[in-house]
Amino acid sequence: MNLSEKIRSIPDFPKKGIIFKDITTLLGDGAALRQAVSEMKERFSDVEIDAVVGIESRGFIFAGILAHEWGVAMVPVRKSGKLPYQTIRETYALEYGTDSLEMHVDAVKKDQKALVVDDLLATGGTAAAVIRLVERLDARVVGCCFLIELDFLQGRKKIESYRVESLVHVE
């Protein structure tokens, strides 16, 4: 099955000029969801992984299933103010202004191998911030996995020293 056909494009959402990649159509198709997760598993089948780090909120979906499949930890990275325990925070640039992401201080342990997972790689600012969070806790990022990559934004360049795997490329 061609997974790109299962993703819906919504023009001018959430604001004019953005083509939003709506993955609810893929999630709503059990066979497509299963194929997406098994392709993600396959891409990292040669790598040892202790924790799957999911980025709020759509990253949680894939990170949760992958962690379950591998029998490893799932670590949520959330927008500021959502996590209840002691956190570390990284701020990153948006088109207008900045945003912050947080992780619990005990979410990953020293030398653990972490896979960063999100639904979509755009400019790479979000993934780069999550990598910094993981590394501040002295854990190691073994790769980043995305369902979709917007190739034209060249977000991959921001995280170029890491292994990056995306199932669907938008040129």
Q: Which is nearer to ligand AMP, 18 or 47 (CB)?
A: 18
Which residues, at least 6 apart from 116, have a Cβ–Cβ distance to it below 8 Å? Answer: 53, 55, 127, 130, 131, 134, 141, 143, 144, 145
Q: Which of 95, 135, 140, 160 is catalytic?
A: 95
Q: Provide the 3-class DSSP secondary structure of residue 1.
A: coil
User: Site residues for ligand AMP, window 123-142 (CB under 6 A)?
Assistant: 123-126
Q: Which is nearer to ligand AMP, 22 or 138 (CB)?
A: 22
Size of the site for ligand AMP (CB under 6 A): 16
Does 121 sit near ligand AMP (CB under 6 A)?
Answer: yes
Does 20 sit near ligand AMP (CB under 6 A)?
Answer: yes
Label the pairing between strands 73-79 and 87-93.
unpaired
- The secondary structure of residue 142, as a DSSP letter, is E
Query: Per the structure block, which two tokens stand in for 142?
Result: 């073994």
**Among residues 119, 131, 141, 159, the one that binds ligand AMP under rule CB under 6 A:** 119
User: Site residues for ligand AMP, window 52-91 (CB under 6 A)?
Assistant: 55, 58
**Among residues 3, 6, 7, 21, the one that binds ligand AMP under rule CB under 6 A:** 21
- Compute the Cα dihedral for 56, 60, 61, 63 and give only its sign: positive
